[in-house]
Amino acid sequence: MTGRPAAGPHFTLTTQESPVPSTNARTTRRITAVAALALATVLATAPPASAHVEVEAEGARALDQKVTLAFNAESESDKAGITKLEVILPKGLAPADITYKSGPQGWKLAPTDRGYTVSGPPVPTGKDAAYAVVVRQLPDAKALAFKTLQTYDDGRIDRWIEIEEPGEHDHSDDTGHGSPAPMLELAAAAPGAEPVSPDSSTPESPATDSPSTDPAPADKDDKDDNKKQADAQQQDDDSSPVVPLAIGAVVLVAVGVGIWLFRRRSTE
C-alpha cells in the first residue's frame, strides 16, 4: 500500500509595487516651478511706479499774500540729471506774480508766456530737484494745478500735466502710468480778504532756453501737451524692461508645456 506523500509547507509569494512618481507628475511639478520662477523674475525686475512733482504751502488759503510754494521734482532717470522745470501757471496767476526764492545751486527763474522756468546745471543723476517761489497773492480758488514739464540733460522730458479733481491726489494706487500735475488745495479765504490790484510791472524777457515764445490759446497748449504726454508715455512703455521679461516668462512656460506633452505621448 502506497501512502500519499506528506504535504510540504506551502508558501505564497506576493509582490508590492513601490510607489514611484509618474513621469507626468514630475513634469507637471517642473513646469509649475519654471512658471513660478519666471513670474518672480518679472516682479523682481519691474520698475517702480513713476515719480511725481509735488507742491506744498502749509496752511495756504485763497487770497493769501506772499505765499511760499515749495516744489519737489522727483527724478525718474538713472542716466541723466534734471536741468529744467517749466511750469504752466493756473488761472488767476501771472508770471509777474512769481518771485524766485531758492533752488539747486546755479539755477535761475525766467518768466514765459504761460508761466515760468527754473533751470541751471544738471542736478546729480537720480537726485530730486527742489525749489521754492513766492506768490504775490493766491487766486480765489479751491485748488491750483501747476502743470510741469521736467527736462533732463539727455533730452528726456517728463510731462506732469494731467488734472485731478480736488481730493483725488493720492499716489497709493499709482501704477507708473499716471502723470498728474502738481496740485495745491486751498482753504477758504480769510474773512475780509480782498484781491490786490494787479502788478503793473513788466516782467523780464523769457530766457533763451524757454521752449515757448509766442502766445498760444490755453486750450491749444493743453492739446499739445497731452499729445506730447501720450508720445512720451508710449516711449516709456516701449523701453520698459517688463515687456521683454514678460515675453521671456511666457516662452519658458510654453517650452515646459511642450516638453510635458512630448513625454506624455512617449509614455502612451
Q: What is the pLDDT of residues 10-40, one digit of tens each?
A: 545 454 554 545 555 565 566 555 555 555 5
pLDDT at 201 over 60: no
State which of 30-39, 50-59, 202-211, 226-235 shows the largest mean pLDDT: 50-59
CA distance 134 to 233: 32
Q: By percentage, how much of the chain surpasses pLDDT 70?
A: 50
At residue 202 the predicted structure's pLDDT band, cuts being 50, 70 and 90, is very low
Indicate the SS3 state at residue 261: helix
Question: Is 46 exposed, middle or buried, given 0-12, 13-18 or 19+ CB atoms closer than 10 A?
Answer: middle
pLDDT at 2 over 80: no
Indicate the SS3 state at residue 64: coil
Residues 166, 246 within the same domain: no
b/e for 141-169, b at 16 or more Cβ within 10 A? bebbbbbbbbbbbeebebbbbeeeeeeeb
Quote the mean pLDDT of the chain: 75
At residue 248 the predicted structure's pLDDT band, cuts being 50, 70 and 90, is low
> Residues 89-129: pLDDT tens digits?
999 999 999 999 999 999 999 999 999 999 999 999 999 99
Residues 31, 115 within the same domain: no
Q: How many domains are there within the chain?
A: 2
Other Cβ atoms within 10 Å of 58 Cβ, number: 7
At residue 197 the predicted structure's pLDDT band, cuts being 50, 70 and 90, is confident
Cα R_g (the chain), whole angstroms: 33
Range of the domain at 131: 53-216
Among residues 173, 201, 216, the one where a domain terminates is 216
CATH of the domain at 65: 2.60.40.2230
Residues 36, 162 within the same domain: no
Tell me which residue has cell 483725488: 168
At residue 146 the predicted structure's pLDDT band, cuts being 50, 70 and 90, is very high
Cα dihedral value 159, 165, 167, 170, nearest 10: -30
pLDDT of residue 250: 61
- pLDDT (mean) for 259-264: 68
Residues 39, 58 within the same domain: no
CA distance 62 to 91: 13
* Domain-embedded: residue 118: yes
CA distance 108 to 94: 18
Mind spelling out the 3-state secondary structure of 69-117?
Answer: EEEEECCCCCCCCEEEEEEECCCCCCHHHEEEEECCCCCEEEECCCEEE
226 Cβ neighbours under 8 A, 6+ residues apart? 161
